[in-house]
Amino acid sequence: MTRFLSCWSARELVVIGVFAAASKVATLLVALAGGGMNPVSLMGKNLIFTTLLVVMLCKVRRPGTLLLFTVINIIVSMLLLGASVTLLPAMFVAALAAEAAMWPGRASSGVGNALIGAAVFDVVSKVLSLGVSWLFMRENPAMMVMAVPFVLTGYIGSVGGLFSGARAVRELRHAGIIHQ
């Protein structure tokens, strides 16, 4: 466990921290600029999150990166933004599932493995977040019916983020910012 925790270099940890902040602020700003829960801003913020996730996974190619990114996001959200403790296991399971999906292709240098990880993370986290929503709104099941289309709309943005992420990585490789 200690070996696993100390395998990251300071530079990789800084990249993870910067991308965690960027994803948090960018998604929040898109949601605010769009005036709340409308389909365009929902898709936009999910698109940005997934794009950033794909770029980060290509920049830091080490098993456990997504898990660490998720843990940091959760700790900061929980302590400073009042995110619910119930989100912790859901996001943790989603990150573990994504890490497991990325494990067979961990040695490959292409963008495919990062895309698989981001896709699995998006699907599992969305499904589990619906479960968490039920916990919040269990007193009124009609509100759950309202939450499902919002989550599905967000997922369309996540799928778009996979394509834009692949494209961004290609451009960044061309510019020499992300190395093979």
Partner 1 sequence: MQASFISRHEGPGEEAGRGTALDVRSRMFVTLLSSAVTIAVSSFEGQMVLFAASFLYALSIRRFRALLTAYAALAVMAGMAALFTFGISSLMPSMPFSFKGLAVPFLRGAVMLNVVLPLALTSRIQALLTALKSLRLPFCIYIPGAVMIRFIPTFMNDIRQVAETLKIRGYRLGFGEMFRHPLMMLRLMFTPLLFRSLRTSEELGIAAELKGLEAGGRFVPFRGGAWTRRDTALVLLSVACALLALYCHAVWGGESMGMR
Q: Which is nearer to partner 1, 46 or 113 (CB)?
A: 46
Written as six digits, the tokens of 116 are: 């698989």
Alpha carbon of 17 to those of 14, 20, 35: distances in Å?
5, 5, 27
Q: Which is nearer to partner 1, 13 or 105 (CB)?
A: 13
Least distance (Å) between residue 78 CB and partner 1: 6
Number of H helices, E strands in the chain: 7, 0
Q: Which is nearer to partner 1, 100 or 143 (CB)?
A: 143
Least distance (Å) between residue 40 CB and partner 1: 5
Q: Would you tell me which residues interact with partner 1 (CB under 8 A)?
A: 5-6, 8-22, 24-26, 29-30, 33-37, 40-41, 43-44, 47-48, 51-52, 55, 59, 68-69, 71-72, 75-76, 78-86, 135-143, 145-146, 168, 172, 177
CB-CB contact of 46 with 157 (8 Å) = yes
The whole-angstrom separation of Cα 134 and Cα 61 is 35
Q: Which is nearer to partner 1, 85 or 107 (CB)?
A: 85
The whole-angstrom separation of Cα 135 and Cα 129 is 10
